[in-house]
Structures are given as structure tokens and as C-alpha cells.
Structure 1
């Protein structure tokens, strides 16, 4: 990636004794990390609010985090006095810090005792070190200090102290942080716009697909009441059929278990498991698993709350878990891909949940008898083919646009990462920074 506009290199560099950096500006200092930060060992105060350490938002009040992510986090009510006190602009080493850098505290409060709290020892700019601790080169250096038995284990002050730090002049720390605040803010705005565009494209695609399978393609067609309240009106020349007349359950079982094992992926559809989960745990024996043929409709009965049905487009016979249901075409619907689209309609998903057996979401099961009792709108065969061609064309167009936006997002994120790394390590000189004269450096 190229350097950001309006930036340049420093006039003079020196070799760095820091193993994760080669060269730094000549007038920058190098310090042992424990000389810049020490552990804060204060226990929680009575008035402290509970904090959450997050990679996305830093260390913020737990209530604020809950509102941002839209879900509740279990609050600790016992032994609060044993939690650690945190001040604004401290940094926290959490169990996941080795994945995404140290977390800056944006609020004062208390945090779980297993975390390490770092307090600044010198006059330094927390915004600058916030960027430094999130830079790719620093995270790689931090990762190299420990051998983890499992993710996040034993990341502590010792690990932090093994990574020496650069120490630019205080005024430059502020200038670099201000520069990055502006540039990163603009990039994040652009990312948000593109991510929203992707959401809108997906919503648009879903609307067009659902309208096609429920109402057809002719906006001027005469309509009639389907007789089913949650389906509503359908084209007058369509009919309503119960699924027991459309589908037939396939109960053929594997005698050897040697056929390719299939699985349902909400992103990729029905796929060969080994191609997506090479090391995934599988049953000791696949004997008596259900057989699937190309063109069959496959459904994980335990995922009724998601309504995930997929037609098999795999040109070979395979097997699926006994927890899956396999259906073959019986009559009226020529291509079961049409039902795959239809069953993603919110009205059908709601009916799946209502008709399923179970209490806890994720553990409810939709039985074939309940599924087969459900009605579906059926168009003439030639119209079914037209609808599928339309959906294929719409999907191709929307998916191309989404891929293009995803590529732009990837490039923006790479640019953002490169810019942060370059600015905090001195590879570029940000606007407003004035270097000391060479003679001043030599006298120093």
C-alpha cells in the first residue's frame, strides 16, 4: 500500500534495537515498556461501575457495551471488592489481547481480577499508544512472547514487559494521534457507508426474490385470496397445495457410511463437509446416515427457527446426519430450488417455529408431519422456470455488486492498517511535525 497523501519520510533515521522494528526517526527514544507503564494494583472502589474490555470499543462501561451490541452480559454481583480499579487512559491486558492489541480505558471503573491494568508512568499520549498497541507489528511482537496452550492463556505483565517500546517526543505523539484520528475517522465513515450499501443490496435481493416466489413476475396479474391468512393473496391462476402432495421424504440409509458426508452451511448451502471442515469432528461411523441425491431438498430439523432448507446441487450421492430430513420431488414443483427460496420467507420461518416441537431456541425440532401439513403457492411449470431464471439473474447482479463492495472494504482496511503502522512507527512524518535540526541532535 502507498503512503497516505500529504505525508513524507523523516530526514534522518537510526537503527532500532527493538526487534520488531528496523529503523526509527533519529530523534525518537526507545524505552523498556515497564519504564513507561506499571501495573495498577488498586482494588475496586465502592462507586466503581463494571467495565467490559472489548477489542472493538476498548474498555467501556458494561451497560454501554450492552446497548451497543444489543444483548445482555452477565453482571458479577459477588466479590466486587476483588476486582481491579481502572482509570481513564489506562490500558488493559485481557485474555484476547494477543489477538488484537491492548485495550484503552475510556471510562473509570472496575474490571475482573484476571486482567492486567497498565497505568502510564510518564507524560505520554494515550491516543498515540492506543494506536501503537493496535498496530500489526506490535501485536505480532506481543504474540511472539508466549506459547499458548489454549487461546489467551498466560498473557500477562511479563509478556508486555518483553516488548520494548518507541517513545517519540510528546508533541509528536499528539500530532500523530490527531492525524490518525482524522484519517481513521474518514476511513471508518467510508467503511460504514459501504457496509450499509451491502446490507441494502442484500435486502433488495431478498425483497425481489420473495416477491417473485410469492406473487410471480407480472405486476398486473389478477389476484385472489389464497384462503391462508399468513400467505394472503396469490395470482388468480396459481393453486395452493399442501406439502404432502409436493414432497416425499427420502428414507434411504447408507449401508457402509463411505459416501461423502454433506452438511448445511448457511453461507454456502449444502456442501461436502471435508471441503469446509478438514479437521472437524465427525461420528465414528456414518452407517445408517441418510442418503442424499442431486436435486433433493435437505433440512436440519434442529434448525427450525432458522428455516434453512437447501437443494443439493452436488452431482453425486452423499449422506447427511440422521438429524437432517431429506425430501425428494413428488409433484407440482419441478425444481425444489423454488422451495428453498420460498422457505426463507419470514412468514414461513414463523410457521416453522410455531409448528416445531421444543422449548429452547436451537433445540426445537420440526417434524415431517408438521412440515407436510403446510400449504404452498404453486405456479404453472413454465412460470416456475421463469421465476427461477429471474432469481438467478437478480442474484448474479446483486452478488457482483456485493463482491465489488467487499473488495473495496478489504482495500480500505488494508490501507487503514498500513497507515496506522506507518505513522506510529515513524515510517511517515505526519503533517505538522517539525524535526529537530541535525546539529541539535548531535549535541544531544
Structure 2
């Protein structure tokens, strides 16, 4: 159990609550005398970016820790041409004001300019910068609640400047920072171990799937050479064929009354919630009559992302974008087995070799080369046995991942609570 201070008083800030009686509250603008941000030089302009040597910080560079480098650099001309660009000193505190990274913080270990989404707090009045780093990190959720805007909430410099935060004496700030350095490091290490265990389980899942769909479940079965270097040995009674003899392309349109589906890398075919902004970053036209029908048990793929593994056998009947390929099976294939096999890491590389780069960041699947991809499969009965086995194993592994994920969330919650309690004096650390 942690100790408490002798007496407390109301901070008058709802989300802070009581603070030790001898502490005060100060506005951020009374603690840091150099508060500002920057801007973004004209995108794609070589005179501002090519061979640049000046660090230029974006919110994506913030990592809730020390900032040792920036992902982009700018030129001296950028500084001269943009009056809002200036370099901030090492030791300054940075807060993200916009978008997905809103509320993230960092401490500069370098001198750097920034874009307009970063708020830099520099030239502090003799305070422990790490104390304020922990303060802003611990109250991230409360600060975000002050944001304005819809899908991309923002907080302003004025909001940050006007934050009234606990202000103990400097020695107390040092003690709190020292305490939190140690405790958060221990928590972060525990989180890292559990994240590694999740990564190992995910890798184990990939291995289990690949072994089952290429070698079967009997480790003592006689094997033969598949004739395909990437596949290697397969059970001697298994067949091998080309996808072109297994799948037949189909295209049915005009079913706009069906549910909208999408084909993803993570889960294959999913039902798309058109009200969920996070799922609908891609444009959906008002007229869906050109969308394609895919029925449960049919194979669909995103031809632009097939090389990433964005394909699978659908468990639903619905419509997908005209950019997708849809196939039906023309050989006796158990759909669930095909889904497990074709989405194994072995076949992702096959689809990668059958895709062409159309332009930067975009690929397109060659249907002709895709037809030549080899596919190995056992009897229909064995396919079902393997599919059932993989469903069972996947559920077991997913349960293990779920448990580790829950433990990670509890550790993160404990970390936030510990930070909040320390920086507001709910606990006395020295």
C-alpha cells in the first residue's frame, strides 16, 4: 500500500479531483514560456524536402517516450519560406493535437521543426519535464474529451495552454518522475512479454495451419514430392492441381438489396457496417447495381490486395465491389478446407508472385497467372477432418490470445491509474 499526504484540498478541476493541501495548480502557459507548433511545406516540392537536413516532426513520430529521430527532414529553404516553421530545442515536450494520434506525447532528444498538428511546450520555468510528460500521458483521455470535431477530433493550442494542472515543488516533481520511471518500466516490460507471447501464438497458428493443409494430420503417412519447390513434400495419396481447374469465375450483378460485404486481409470476407466510419474509409456509391453477388461458400478476392492475403471463402451471401473477383468451385472441394489452405502464409506468397505493380502503392492480380497457382488437397472426407481440426485449434489459440490481451489491458489500466495517482498526489511516493 502506498502512503498518503497529510491533508488534501479540492483542485476545482473535476477530472483531477483532490490534491495535497500544499500543492498548487498552474496553467500550462504559466509553466512553459515557448508554446507553438509549425506547418507543412508544400507536399512533393523537392526544394523543401530533397536532401533536407533539418528534423521535421509529425504526430506519427510521437511514441509516448523520447524522440530520437524524425521520419522526414526539410531543407533550409523551407525554414526561410515558411515563417511559421521554427526549430524547437531538445528537452521540449510535444503533444499531438489532431487525428488518430491525438493526445500522444513525446520528449525531444533532438532539435526539430514540426508540422501544424504538434504542440510543443518548451523553455520551461525550472520544472521537471518528465513530471509534465507523465501528467499529460496520464490524463490523455480527459484531454481528448475536450476535443472538438467529428471523425477527426482536434484539440487546440489554446486548450493546452489553459490546462490547469497540479504543481508540487521541484523536489517532489523529481521524486514522482523517478518513481514513475521505475514503475512504468516494470509495467512496460510485463506488457512486452505478453505481447511476445501473443506473437508466438500467432506464429504457432500459422505453422499449425500450413502443416495441416500441406502435410495432413498423420505424421507417419508416406510422403511424395509435390513437384513444387514452395510446397515441398505432401502425403502420397493427395492430389495437386491448378486453381484454374478448381475455380470458375462468375459475375452476377444488380443485387443492391443484399448486405454489403468486404474482403479483408485479417479475416477474409466480412459483413461491412456502413454506419461504422472506421470500416468505411473507401467510397461507397449510392447506386450499388454494379456490385457483384457472392454467395455463401463461394471464393472471393480483392484483386488489388490479393498479394496481401485479402481473399477467402465467404460465410455470407451479399454484394461486394465490382473490383473483386468471385469464383465457384467446379471440383469436390470442402469450402472451409479451401479457406484455411488458401489463406495460409504459403499461398500469400503465390498470390504475390501473380500480382503486378500498377502504380506506387497499388497492385493488380493477373487472373491468368492466378489460374496456374498449384493447390494440394486430400480426399473430401480428409478435407473436412482437417478443417474441423483447424477450427478447434484456432479457437484454442484465439482464447490464449484473448487472455493475454485482457491481461495487457489490465496492465495498461493499472499504469494509467498509477500515473494519475502519482502526479495528483493521491499517493505519496517518497
- SS of 1:377's equivalent? strand
- Contact between 1:60 and 1:107, CA under 8 Å: does it hold in 2? yes
- Residue 330 of structure 1 deviates from its aligned partner by 1.1
- Residue 94 of structure 1 deviates from its aligned partner by 4.1
- SS of 1:241's equivalent? strand
- Residue 248 of structure 1 deviates from its aligned partner by 1.8
TM-score by length of 1: 0.83
- Contact between 1:93 and 1:102, CA under 8 Å: does it hold in 2? yes
Aligned counterpart, 1:61: 68
- Contact between 2:37 and 2:119, CA under 8 Å: does it hold in 1? no
Aligned counterpart, 2:156: 155
Counterparts of 1:394-413 in structure 2 under 5 Å? 394-413=393-412
State the alpha-carbon separation in 1 of the partners of residues 287 and 185 from structure 2. Answer: 53
Aligned counterpart, 1:358: 357
State the alpha-carbon separation in 2 of the partners of residues 320 and 207 from structure 1. Answer: 31
* Bigger strand share: 2
Aligned counterpart, 1:9: 4
Structure 1 stretch 11-20 or stretch 51-60: which is displaced more? 51-60
State the alpha-carbon separation in 2 of the partners of residues 86 and 95 from structure 1. Answer: 17
- Residue 61 of structure 1 deviates from its aligned partner by 3.4
Are residue 187 (structure 1) and residue 192 (structure 2) matched? Answer: no
- Contact between 2:54 and 2:74, CA under 8 Å: does it hold in 1? no
Aligned counterpart, 2:295: 293
- SS of 1:198's equivalent? helix
Aligned counterpart, 2:93: 91
The 1:376/1:163 distance shift into structure 2, 3 A limit, reads same
Unaligned runs of 5+ in 1: 1-5, 66-72, 433-444
- Contact between 1:222 and 1:235, CA under 8 Å: does it hold in 2? yes
- SS of 1:348's equivalent? helix
- Residue 425 of structure 1 deviates from its aligned partner by 0.9
Counterparts of 1:408-419 in structure 2 under 5 Å? 408-419=407-418
Equivalent residue in structure 1 for 2:136, among 133, 156, 160: 133
- Contact between 2:95 and 2:106, CA under 8 Å: does it hold in 1? no
- Residue 206 of structure 1 deviates from its aligned partner by 0.6
What is the CA deviation profile of residues 282-335 of structure 1, one whole-angstrom value per residue up to 9, with x for unaligned ones? 212111322111111111111122132211112xx31111111111121142x1
The 1:247/1:196 distance shift into structure 2, 3 A limit, reads same
The 1:227/1:37 distance shift into structure 2, 3 A limit, reads same
The 1:259/1:416 distance shift into structure 2, 3 A limit, reads same
Aligned counterpart, 1:124: 127
TM-score by length of 2: 0.85
Structure 1 stretch 160-169 or stretch 392-401: which is displaced more? 160-169
- Contact between 1:216 and 1:387, CA under 8 Å: does it hold in 2? yes
Counterparts of 1:275-424 in structure 2 under 5 Å? 277=276, 280=280, 281-314=283-316, 317-333=317-333, 335-360=334-359, 362-424=361-423
Structure 1 stretch 242-251 or stretch 207-216: which is displaced more? 242-251
- Contact between 1:209 and 1:341, CA under 8 Å: does it hold in 2? yes
State the alpha-carbon separation in 2 of the partners of residues 267 and 42 from structure 1. Answer: 37
The 1:347/1:360 distance shift into structure 2, 3 A limit, reads farther
State the alpha-carbon separation in 2 of the partners of residues 372 and 186 from structure 1. Answer: 52
State the alpha-carbon separation in 2 of the partners of residues 205 and 262 from structure 1. Answer: 26
- Contact between 2:248 and 2:328, CA under 8 Å: does it hold in 1? yes
State the alpha-carbon separation in 1 of the partners of residues 362 and 101 from structure 2. Answer: 32
Counterparts of 1:230-245 in structure 2 under 5 Å? 230-245=230-245
- Residue 201 of structure 1 deviates from its aligned partner by 0.3
The 1:97/1:179 distance shift into structure 2, 3 A limit, reads farther
Q: CA RMSD in A?
A: 2.8
State the alpha-carbon separation in 1 of the partners of residues 87 and 62 from structure 2. Answer: 19
Structure 1 stretch 160-169 or stretch 351-360: which is displaced more? 351-360
Equivalent residue in structure 2 for 1:50, among 51, 55, 72: 55
Are residue 32 (structure 1) and residue 40 (structure 2) matched? Answer: no
State the alpha-carbon separation in 1 of the partners of residues 95 and 199 from structure 2. Answer: 34
- Contact between 2:89 and 2:110, CA under 8 Å: does it hold in 1? yes
Aligned counterpart, 1:177: 177
Aligned counterpart, 1:201: 201
- SS of 2:325's equivalent? strand
* Greater radius of gyration (CA): 1
- Contact between 1:86 and 1:105, CA under 8 Å: does it hold in 2? no
State the alpha-carbon separation in 2 of the partners of residues 366 and 329 from structure 1. Answer: 19
State the alpha-carbon separation in 1 of the partners of residues 94 and 35 from structure 2. Answer: 10
- Residue 20 of structure 1 deviates from its aligned partner by 4.1
- Contact between 2:88 and 2:113, CA under 8 Å: does it hold in 1? yes
